[in-house]
Amino acid sequence: MIKDITFGQYYPGKSLLHRMDPRMKLVLTFFLIVVLFVSKNFFALCLVSLITLIASLLSSVPQKMMLKSIKPVLIILLFTAALNIFYTKGGATYLEWGKLVITEKGVNTAIFTIIRIVTLVVLSSLLTYTTTPTMLTDGLERLLSPLKILHIKVDTLAMMMTLALRFIPTLIEEIERIMNAQKARGADLETGNLIERAKALIPIFVPLMVSSFRRAYELAFAMTCRCYTGGDGRTRMKQMKLSLRDFICLFVCLAVLAGVILLNIKFGSIFEV
Amino acid sequence: MSPALEIKNLTHCYQPGTPMEVAAIKDANITIEKGEIVGIIGHTGSGKSTLISHFNGLLKPTKGTVLVDGTDIWSSKEALRNSRFKVGLCFQYPEYQLFEDTVFKDIAFGPKNMKLPSDEIKRRVLEASKLAGVKPEMLEKSPFDLSGGEKRRVAIAGIMAMEPEVLVFDEPSAGLDPKGRRDLNNLIKAYHKKTGSTVIIVSHSMEDIAKLVDRIIVVNKAAIAMDGTVSEVFSRSEELKSMGLNVPEITEVFARLKAMGYDVPLDVYTVEYGADRLRELLGKGVGK
DSSP A126-177: HHHHHS-HHHHHHHHHHHHGGGGGGT--HHHHHHHHHHHHHHHHHHHHHHHH
Q: Which residues, in sequence order, are CB contacts of B88 under 8 Å at separation 6+?
A: A184, B56, B110, B159, B160, B162, B164, B166, B167, B168
What number of CA atoms fall less than 13 Å from residue B71's CA on the CB side?
Answer: 17
Q: Which amino acid is at B129?
A: S
Distances (CA, A) of B174 to B95, B232, B259: 11, 26, 34
CA-based diameter of chain A, in Å? 73
**Is A216 within 8 Å of chain B by CB?**
no
- A126 with A56: CB under 8 angstroms? yes
Give the model's pLDDT for residue A155: 82
Nearest by CB to B113, from A178, A185, A211: name it: A185
Q: Do B99 and A207 touch (CB under 8 A)?
A: yes
Q: In chain B, what residues touch A178 (CB-CB under 8 Å)? A: 96-97
Nearest by CB to A210, from B109, B110, B144: name it: B144
Q: What is the CA radius of gyration of chain B?
A: 21
Distances (CA, A) of A192 to A187, A196, A198: 12, 6, 9
Distance, in Å, from the CA atom of A261 to the CA atom of A255, rounded to the nearest integer, reads 10
pLDDT tens-digit series, residues B112-171:
999 999 999 999 999 999 999 999 999 999 999 998 889 999 999 999 999 999 999 999
Q: Do B97 and A183 touch (CB under 8 A)?
A: no
Name the residue in chain A with its Cα closest to that of B113: A186
Assess if residue A257 is contained within a domain. yes
Q: In chain A, what residues touch B85 (CB-CB under 8 Å)? A: 186
Q: Which of A185, A191, A199 to probe by mutation at the B interface, max B CB count within 10 Å?
A: A185
Work out the minimum CA distance from B97 to partner chain A, whole angstroms.
Answer: 6
Q: Which amino acid is at A201?
A: L
Give the model's pLDDT for residue B287: 53
pTM: 0.75
Give the model's pLDDT for residue A273: 46
Domain coverage including residue A186: 2-267
Name the residue in chain B with its Cα closest to that of A200: B113
**Torsional sign, CA A97, A100, A102, A103:** positive
Q: Which residues, in sequence order, are CB contacts of B10 under 8 Å at separation 6+?
A: B25, B27, B28, B29, B51, B54, B61, B63, B64, B65, B66
Q: Do B94 and A206 touch (CB under 8 A)?
A: no
Q: In chain B, what residues touch A206 (CB-CB under 8 Å)? A: 99
Nearest by CB to B97, from A181, A202, A205: name it: A181
Distance, in Å, from the CA atom of A112 to the CA atom of B221, rounded to the nearest integer, reads 54
The enclosing H or E element of B55 equals: none
Domain coverage including residue B259: 248-288
Assess if residue A273 is contained within a domain. no
Give the model's pLDDT for residue B157: 95
Q: Do B96 and A181 touch (CB under 8 A)?
A: yes
Nearest by CB to B113, from A177, A186, A211: name it: A186
Q: In chain A, what residues touch B109 (CB-CB under 8 Å)? A: 182, 185, 187, 203
Assess if residue B71 is contained within a domain. no
Name the residue in chain B with its Cα closest to that of A201: B99
Per-residue pLDDT of chain A (273 residues; tens, 9 = 90+): 444 444 457 788 888 888 899 999 999 999 999 999 999 889 999 999 999 999 998 888 888 888 888 888 888 899 998 888 888 877 778 877 877 788 888 888 899 999 999 999 999 888 988 888 778 888 888 888 888 888 888 888 888 888 887 888 888 889 999 999 999 998 887 777 888 888 888 999 999 999 999 999 999 999 999 988 877 777 777 778 888 999 999 999 999 999 999 999 988 887 764
Number of domain units in chain B: 1
Give the model's pLDDT for residue A247: 92
Q: Which amino acid is at B163?
A: E
Find residues 173-192 of chain A whose CB sits inside 8 Å of chain B. Answer: 177-178, 180-188
Assess if residue A176 is contained within a domain. yes
Give the model's pLDDT for residue B19: 66
- B92 with B174: CB under 8 angstroms? yes
Q: Do B99 and A206 touch (CB under 8 A)?
A: yes
Q: In chain A, what residues touch B159 (CB-CB under 8 Å)? A: 184-185
Give the model's pLDDT for residue A230: 77
Which residues of chain B fall below pLDDT 50?
Answer: 288
Assess if residue A254 is contained within a domain. yes
Give the model's pLDDT for residue A158: 82
Number of domain units in chain A: 1
Interface of chain B toward chain A, CB-CB under 8 angstroms:
53, 56, 58, 81, 84-85, 88-91, 94, 96-99, 109-110, 113-114, 144, 158-159, 162
Measure the CA angle with vertex B277, ends B276 and B279; round to 5°: 65
Q: Do B58 and A182 touch (CB under 8 A)?
A: no
Give the model's pLDDT for residue A249: 92
Q: Do A178 and B96 touch (CB under 8 A)?
A: yes
Assess if residue B254 is contained within a domain. yes
Distance, in Å, from the CA atom of B39 to the CA atom of B216, rounded to the nearest integer, reads 5
Assess if residue B273 is contained within a domain. yes
Q: Hey, is B158 helix, strand or coil?
A: helix
Helix orientation angle between A104-130 and A22-38, rounded to the nearest 10 degrees: 180
